[in-house]
Chains A and B, each alone.
Chain A
Amino acid sequence: MSELKGREQEQAEPSWSPLEDARVDRRDFLKLAGFFVGASALSACSRGAVNKAIPQIVGPEELVPGKALWYATTCGGCSAGCGALVKARDGRPVKLEGNPEHPLSRGGLCPIGQAAVLELYDSKRLLSPLLRGAASSWQAVDAEVAGALRRARSGAAVRVLTGTIHSPSTRRAIARLLEGLPDAKHVAYDALSACAIRDAHALSHGRRALPRYRFEKARSIVSLDADFLGTWISPVEYAAGWRAGRVPLGNPARMSYHLQLESRMSLTGANADRRIVIPAGSEALIAAHLADHLARRAGVRSPYSSLPKPPLPAAELASIAGRLWAERGEALVVSGANDLAAQLAVNHANELLGAYGKTVNLRGASQQRLGDDVAAAELLEELEAGKVALLIVQGCNPAAELPAPGGSWERILSRVGLVVAVSSHLDETASKAAAVCPEPHFLEAWSDAEPTVGIAAVAQPAVRPAGSTRPFVESLAAWAGRPQKALDQLRSIWRQRLGPAGFEEAWAKVVHDGWHASTPEKGAGAFNESAASSLQPASLPDGDGFRLVLYPKAAMLEGRHAQNPWLQELPDPVTKVVWDNYAALSPAAAKSLGVETGELVRVSVGGQTLELPTLVQPGQHDRAVCVALGYGRAGTERFHDFAPRWISGKPTVAKGERVGRNASGQLRFESGRLVYSGLLATVEKAGGRRPLACAQEYHSLALPTRLAEKPGESRDIVRETTLAEYRKSPKAGNPGAHSAASLWPKSLREGNRRWAMAVDLNLCTGCSACVIACQAENNIPAVGKDEVGRRRDLQWLRIDRYYAESEEGVSVLHQPMLCQQCGNAPCESVCPVVAISGSEDGLNQQTYNRCVGTRYCANNCPYKVRRFNWFEYRKAGAAENLALNPDVTIRSRGVMEKCSFCVQRIQEAKIEAKSRGETLKDGQIRPACQQSCPTQAIVFGDAHDRASEVAGRMADPRRYRVLEELHVDPAVGYLTKVRNRDKA
C-alpha cells in the first residue's frame, strides 16, 4: 500500500526530465539507448573508482603541484655519509641525487644511495613496533625496556650494539642512555670492517683513527686489495678524488699511476693501470716488503730484521717502490686487508713516502668506519656466557653478519634477558628479538652525520613518516627517561657546534646546504717506528689449498639492502651477474675442479660448508675462491613472486628460499679481528647446478678463436691506448673513422641544438651508479632473475664489460652503453607507425602510446640499446609505485622503450629558461646518469654550441664514436681509455 502511495507521489512531482514533455520517437529512443549502453559499457571498462581520495586540506608548505622541490640531506644507505639532494614531487620523494657542493662526495651518489628511495616505499617495511612477535605499541615496548634498565641499575649488563655511528646526536643519545649504569657499553662493529686500520694507527701514530685518504692528491697509488672505487669505506668520495689524476693533461701528458695488487678481480683492479695478481692473505707480507724497499730508498734502517720470501719477484717490488719513491709526497699506499700487520706496514710505507698530512690525513680523520672488532668479539663471548641483560641492536644485523660462537645466534640471543632490535625489517636479528622498534627511513626523519671529523651534516626529512615508527634517537631518549624529539635533540647539539650567536641563521644554512665544515682538531702524534714494525708478517703457508676471499659486491655491500630489487638486479660491475652470489674461481681452478659457471661447488672453512654455483672469473688468483657477503638474507623470500609468471617462467627464488647464500658463517675472528681474506678453504665439486643470471653472454671484444679471421681479431668498440703512446700522439689508439658520402638529408642544421653526450672512458670506473640513477629517474622496473637470464633486462643504460687478455694479464674495459641518439637513426626509418621520430634538436623520440611493438627498431639498432616490455611488469596498487617519477610515462607491455637523454629534464629546463626569458646555459641540463656519476665521466650538452663542455670533449683527439663507420651519426662520443703504461 505504502509502495503504491510512494509511486503516486513520485508521479505527482513536477518533471525534471526533458524527455517527459518531449515526444520521444523511435529514432530518439534508439539514439539515447545507444548512448547510454555505450557510455555504461565504456565506463565499466575503466579501473574501479578511487574510493579514498582525500583532498589535502592543509597542503605541505611551498608545494606547487607538478613542481619538484629539492631538499639537501645525507644519504643513509651506508656509513660513508655522502651528501644527497632529494627531489620531492607533490610531497613525495622520488629521486635521490648527489649534492654537488658536498665536500666529500662532490655530486656523486653510488647505486645504493640512488636506490634508497625505493626502500622508502617498501611495502614490507615495519611500520609499528613488535613485542614478542605481535604488533604492539611504543608504550608497551618502552615499559619492557624500562624494566630491563631498572634491573641494569643494580648491575646487570647493558650492551648497545650498532654499526658505525658518526651521527653526533645519536652518539650523545647513546651516551646519555648508558650514563649512570654500572655495566653498560656501546659496541660498534662493521660487517665490512676496517678496524685494523684504526688499530694500526693507534700503534703507529698514537691515535685510533681511520685516516681520510686524499686520492686527488696522489700521483702514484698502490692499492693492496682495497676496492676503493667499488666498495671500500667511502667509494664515491674516493672515486671523486681518484678522478683528478686520470685525465692525461699537460705537456708531456701526465696521469696518476694506479697499481692494484689483489687476489680477486675487483672493480678497482679493473680500472688500475696495472694489476698484479697476488695470493689471498699475502697483503701483509707484500706491504712489509714494500716498506722494506722504501726504507732502503730513503736510506733509513729497514724496519724488519728478516722477512719471509714475498709472493712476487723482488725486482717487481723494487720497481713498485721506485715508482712510489719518485712521487713521494704525492704517493699513497692503501690496503683493504683487515690485518694489523698489513696495516702497520702500510702506515710505515706511507710514513716513508711522506704521505701523512698530504694523501693520508689523520687530521679531519674519517669516521666512516668506527667499528671495533675486538669489542664485538668480546661481546659475542659475553652473549654466549649469558652475561647480558639488555641488548639493544641498531643499524646492524649481527645474526646475519657475524659468525655466532657455537654456530647458533638463536641460542646465544636466547640467553640475553631482553633483546631490542631497532630495525626496519624483520631481519635475522629482529626476528629473534623480544622487541622490534622500527625506525623511519632516513628520508622521513631528522638526523645528522659527521662522516669525517669537521665535515658534519644535517639531514632533513622530505616526507612525513609512514606508520608509527620512531627515530633511534627518540627511542634512546625515551628509554633514558628524557623523551625528546629528534629535531630538538639535533638542534641542541648543533647549538653547541654552531654557537648560540646567530644560531637560527646558521642552522637554516646548514639545513639548506646539507653540510657544514669546521676546523678539525689537531692531527696525530709522532710516528712510532718501533711500534709500527713490531708485528712481523707471517710467511705464506705452503701447499696449494684454496684461500677464501669474502668480499662485498658494489650494490649489496654487507646486505642491508638485500630487499631492494633495483640493487639485486644491478649487474655486478665485474661479473655482470644479478640476483645471486657465487663462488668465483679462476679459469684454471675451475678446470682443475671440473666445474663450469653455474655448477655447484662446496666451499668449506673449518667445518662450515656452503654450496654455491661456480662463476669462472678471469684475472683471479688460481688458488682463490671468492664469495660475496650480503646474500642469503632474511626477507628475500619475498622475491619468489617477483618476476612475471608464465608457462616457462622460473621464479627469482624458489619458494621459501633466499637470494643467494649467506657466507658470513665463514668469517673468522683472528686475534680479535674479522678476517675476510686468506682463510684456508677446501673447494670441491658438489654436483648439480644453480643457473646464474648474467646480463652479458659474451665477455670479450676479441672474436671467438674459431670464427676469427686471424687469431686475436678484435673489435674496436672500446678504444684503448697507453700513456706512452698518447704522449707520442693524442690520437693514439683512435685511428678515426673514414668519412663517407651520405644519401641522407642533413637533418640537423647547424643553427639548431644537437643534444650530445661524451663519456670519458678514462674516468668511467663502471661503478654503475648511472644505471640505478637512470632506473630511478625513468621508472624502469626490475624484472627478476629469470628475465635477466633470458637477456630481457630493461635498464636503459647498461655498462658493457669486456675482458682482454694480454701479457700483463687480464684487463677489463667498461663502457656505458645507452641510446646513441643517432642523427641517421636506423630505428626511425623502420617503424611502420612512426612511433620513433627525430626531433629538431637531435633526439630520437620514442612515442610509447604509438608503439605497436614490432621490435624491428630493436633489431635494427646496431647498439642494441632498445628495451622491450615483454610483460606487464608493474603491479597496479603496489606501494613501490609511489617511487615513480611523475615526469616520466609508465610503459605498458608490448611497448619499446629506450634512453631519452632524460628528455623530461631537457623540457623542464627549457620551459624554466623560457619563462624567465633567459637562454639555456651549458650545464643547466644534467641527465640522471651524468648527475650521479662520482667521477664526472659523463658530460651532456649541446654539441652545436662550440663553447659547451660537451663540444670541448667532442673536439678532443681522444674522442671517437662507436660504429661510426655505419654512418648512423651517433650523438654519443667516447674518449679513448688511456692507461698509464709503457706498453699495452
Chain B
Amino acid sequence: MSGPDCWIEGGKTPADVTRDIASPLERGPSPSWWVALAASAALFGIGAWALAYTAWKGIGVWGLNRTVGWAFDITNFVFWIGIGHAGTLISAILFLFRQKWRTSVNRSAEAMTLFAVACAGIFPIIHMGRPWLAFWVFPYPNVRGPLWVNFNSPLLWDVFAISTYFTISAVFWYVGLIPDLATLRDRACGARRRILAALSLGWDGSMRTWVHYESAYLLLAGLATPLVISVHTIVSFDFATSVIPGWHTTIFPPYFVAGAIFSGMSMVLTLMIVARKVAGLEEYITERHIDAMSKLVLATSWMVGTAYATEFFVAWYSGNPYERFVFVNRALGPMAWAYWTMVCCNVLIPQLLWRGGIRRSAMAVFVIGIFVNVGMWFERFVIIVTSLHRDFLPSSWSSYAPTIVELSIFAGSFGLFFTLFLLFCRFLPMIAMAEVKGILSSGHGHAKGPTASRERGALA
C-alpha cells in the first residue's frame, strides 16, 4: 500500500476519489462550516470598517510618521504575497519536476495563492494617501498631457508583477479545475448542472480534449514558473533599489523568494493539516505529504537563515557605518524583540523538522507552521520598520507602534482570506480529482503519467 510511488492511502479507486471529494460538495454545509464562515466574515467586517475609516480620515489613523512611512501596510503586503508563493511553486515548478505528491495539495495551494494575492492586493491600494487615484499607476492613454507612469519606480514594476501573477495564477487554477468541474457537472442536476456546464466549458473528456488540455496546462506551468521567481524578486526591489541601509541589499531577490516559499509552504501546511482533518481527507493528504512539505520548509528555513547571516556579514564587511549600524540596531536596538522573534521562528524552531517523527506528526508540523508564519511576518516587519526607524540622520530617528486601525486591517485580511478559503472548500473540489487519479496505485496497475488516468478520471 505504501510503495515509493504510493501517495494516496486506503487503496482508492478512481470512483472512490470522485465520491470522496465530490460528495461533500453535494451535501449541505455543516454547522461548523457556518460557524467558521461567520467568524471569518466578522473578522473581515472589522477589517472593512478599518479600511473605510482609513479612506475616510486619512493615513493619519495609522501609527506611521515622517520617518517610518511604511510599516503594517507593506509588511502585510509582502507577507500575503509570500504566502501565495507556495501555490505557484507546487502547481507549476513541482509539476514540471513531475513531483507526484503535489496532486493532493495543488488545488488548495493554488486557491490559497489567489486568495493571498487578493489580500495582498488590498495593501498597495489602501496604503496610498489618495487611494481613489490608484488607477494612476497604470500606464493607460490619458488626457493629462505628458503625464505617464515612471518606469524607473519599483512600485510600478510591482503593479505589473502582481497583476501578471494574479492573472496567470487565476488562469492556471481555472484551467486545472475544468476536468473536475466536468466531473461535478456529470454528477449534478438542475441549475447546479447548468452552472457547472458553463464553467467546465463543454469538457467532453475525449482524447483530443485531453491532449489540448495537457499541452495548455504544461504551457501555463511554464509561464507560471518564472513568476515564482519574478514576483518576489520584484517585490524585493521595492527595498533593494532604495538608498536606505538595510534595504539597499543585492541579496534581497533570492532571499525574498526563499522566504516566500518558506512562508507559503508553512501556510499550506497549516491550512492543509486543518482541512484534511475537518474534511476527512487524511487518505489523500497523508503523512508523507506533510513530510515532503516539511522538508521543503526545512530547506528554505536554511536559506533564509543563511540570508540573515549573510546580511550581517556584508554589513560588517562593507565597512559602511550606516549599514553596520542598521544591523546592530536590528539585533540589539529598541526593536530587537521583533528581530529575535523572527530568528527563533524562522531559523531555530524549524530545525525540529530534522527529526522524521516530528515531520510526520501533523500536530507538530502544524505548530511549527504557525511559528514560521509568525516569523515570516516579523521578517518583513523587521526589514521595513527597523531599517527605516533609524536611518542616516539621528535627528529623524523615530519609533513605530501600530494603531487599532492597522491591527484591524491586518485581522481583516485574515478574515478575507479565510472567508474565501471556506467558500472555496464548499463549492469547489479541494483536491484535484483528475490529477490524483493519475497517481493512484489501484486499478490500472502503475500508470506512468497523469495523462492516461485523467481520461478515466473524467469519465468516472
Contact = CB atoms under 8 A, between A and B. Distances in A.
Contacts of B244: 859-860, 862
Given A709-B324, A859-B244, 20 more contacts: A646-B61, A647-B53, A647-B405, A699-B394, A791-B67, A800-B395, A833-B137, A851-B130, A855-B69, A856-B155, A862-B391, A863-B393, A864-B391, A864-B396, A869-B58, A870-B59, A870-B60, A870-B64, A892-B130, A968-B243
In this complex, the member of A832, A850, A858 whose beta carbon has the largest number of chain B beta carbons within 10 angstroms is: A832
A697 B399 contact: yes
Contact of A870 (B58, B134, B332): B58
A701 B155 contact: no
B66 interface: yes
B65 A792 contact: yes
Nearest to B322: A715
Interface in B129-158: 129-131, 133-134, 136-137, 147-150, 152-156
Nearest to B54: A646
Contacts of A793: 66
A696 B394 CA distance: 9
Nearest to A858: B69
Interface string A697-717: 111110110110100010101
Interface string B240-254: 011110000000000
A801 B396 CA distance: 11
In this complex, the member of B58, B127, B159 whose beta carbon has the largest number of chain A beta carbons within 10 angstroms is: B58
Q: Describe A's contact surface by its main secondary structure.
A: loop
Interface in B362-394: 388, 390-394
A811 to B, nearest CB: 16
Contact of A830 (B65, B241, B321, B396): B241
B213 interface: no
A494 interface: no
A858 B127 CA distance: 14
Interface in B24-67: 53, 57-61, 63-67
B392 A963 contact: yes
Nearest to A860: B242
Interface in A894-928: 894-896
A960 interface: no
B215 to A, nearest CB: 37
B394 A700 contact: yes
A853 interface: yes
A737 interface: no
Nearest to B144: A850
Given A833-B137, A895-B129, A707 B58 contact: no
B66 A867 contact: yes
A703 B324 CA distance: 12
Contacts of A893: 58-60, 129-130
6 contacts: A698-B397, A709-B328, A852-B131, A853-B128, A855-B129, A892-B130
A896 B129 contact: yes
Contacts of B241: 829-830
B414 interface: no
Interface string B68-107: 0110000000000000000000000000000000000000
A870 B60 CA distance: 4
Contacts of B325: 703, 707
Nearest to A963: B392
A909 B397 CA distance: 38
Counting contact residues on chain A (CB < 8 A from B), the size range is 35 or more
B328 to A, nearest CB: 5
Given A832-B155, A854-B127, A715 B150 contact: no
Interface in A352-405: none
B398 interface: yes
A724 interface: no
Interface in B239-274: 241-244
A831 interface: yes
Interface string B320-337: 010011001100110000
Nearest to A830: B153
Contacts of A940: none
In this complex, the member of A798, A815, A860 whose beta carbon has the largest number of chain B beta carbons within 10 angstroms is: A860
Given A853-B128, A862-B243, A707 B332 contact: yes
A672 interface: no
Contacts of A831: 150, 153, 155
Contacts of B395: 696, 698, 717, 798, 800-802, 815, 817
Interface of A: 644, 646-649, 696-701, 703-704, 706-707, 709, 713, 715, 717, 787, 790-793, 798, 800-802, 815, 817, 826, 829-834, 850-856, 858-860, 862-864, 866-872, 892-896, 962-963, 966, 968
A832 B155 CA distance: 6
Contacts of A864: 66-67, 391-393, 396
B404 interface: yes
Given A698-B394, A830-B241, A860-B243, A792 B60 contact: yes
Interface string B296-333: 00000000000000000000000001001100110011
B66 A858 contact: yes
Contacts of A717: 392-395
Nearest to A700: B394
In this complex, the member of B57, B129, B134, B149 whose beta carbon has the largest number of chain A beta carbons within 10 angstroms is: B129
Contacts of B58: 644, 869-872, 893-894
B164 interface: no
A128 to B, nearest CB: 38
In this complex, the member of A649, A709, A791, A831 whose beta carbon has the largest number of chain B beta carbons within 10 angstroms is: A791
Nearest to B397: A698
A644 to B, nearest CB: 6
A646 B388 contact: no
B60 A833 contact: no
B163 interface: no
A698 B325 CA distance: 15
Contact of B59 (A699, A800, A868): A868
Contacts of B61: 646-648
Nearest to A714: B394
A830 B129 contact: no
Contacts of B2: none
A871 B57 contact: yes
B403 interface: yes
Contacts of A832: 137, 149-150, 153, 155-156, 159
Contacts of B398: 697, 791
A870 B148 CA distance: 25
A89 to B, nearest CB: 28
Nearest to A644: B60
Contact of B60 (A646, A704, A867): A646
A852 B159 CA distance: 14
B242 A830 contact: yes
A871 B56 CA distance: 10
Contacts of A869: 58, 129
Nearest to A855: B69
B137 A697 contact: no
A713 B325 CA distance: 10
Nearest to B330: A707
